[in-house]
Amino acid sequence: MARFGFVTMTLAEFIEEIWTAGTCTVSPAPMPVEEENELAALAWLQRCYAEDIRHQPAPMPAFEAAAALWAARFLYRAVQLTVLRELDDTAVRVWLQEFPGLGTPEAQYSADLLLRHLPDLLRLCQGLAPADALVLHLQATLVRWPLSAVGAKLPDLPDPAPVLGHPGLRLLYADRLLAIRDLPLARHPAARELLREVLGQFAPDLWPEFHALLNEPVESVTRTL
């Protein structure tokens, strides 16, 4: 689980720290784009991607720089907003712009290099103020990034279709569902079928709760989404 703190740090330093140590610190004020040193940040993101694909069960989508940089900025500023509790709803909308591109497999995986920490930050925000604008914004963002949303316990469940269309992401998504035992997400018909394929006859032993879910009619599962 990532830990979040508060000191002056560039975007590249932020990426390096959260990737290598699982902790991060941020600047107490919005960082102008010209001070982000985009090339240094991008170099770190490419390194993260190269390291991450070595640990995956199947070939992953190609690196998409735009999505990876957007996610790094998004997480950085979301941490800032978590600490700067005096900022209003307008600051949340201004600082946390949504990704302008398509949610392709390449974008999903590249953004996930940093967005995989967003559920941890969301839980921290919910502990501080369960219904404020930042919590609602982070929840809405994670719905659009299903690979990164596993374990987030969202009120609106994400559709895993952008992930399940790619063989490597499909396996990675199944691995995360199994590691976290995310039963609400497993109720989605597409995720349910994926896990049925992955677990096979071992479902009763490996995940008894999911095996019980398989005995429910698909219609009743769909109505819980």
| 47-63 pLDDT, tens digit each | 999 999 999 989 999 99
pLDDT of residue 222: 42
Phi/psi at 4 (5° precision):
-125, 140
Q: Where are the chain's structural domains?
A: 3-157
Q: Which two tokens stand for residue 67?
A: 């999505």
State the chain's mean pLDDT as an integer: 86
How many other C-beta atoms can be found within 10 angstroms of the C-beta atom of residue 104? 16
**pLDDT tens per residue, range 114-124:** 999 999 999 98
Mean pLDDT of 219-225: 43
Indicate the pLDDT class of residue 87, thresholds 50, 70 and 90.
low
**Span 80-95, average pLDDT:** 78
Residue 13 Cα distances to 16, 23, 41, angstroms: 5, 11, 8
> d(Cα 131, Cα 22) in Å, to the nearest integer?
26
Residue 196: closest CA among 177, 168, 179, 220: 177
pTM of the model: 0.87
Q: What is the pLDDT of residue 101?
A: 93
Instruction: Give residue 200's pLDDT.
Output: 87
Distance CA 83, CA 74 (A): 14
pLDDT surpassing 70 at residue 6:
no
Distance CA 155, CA 84 (A): 25
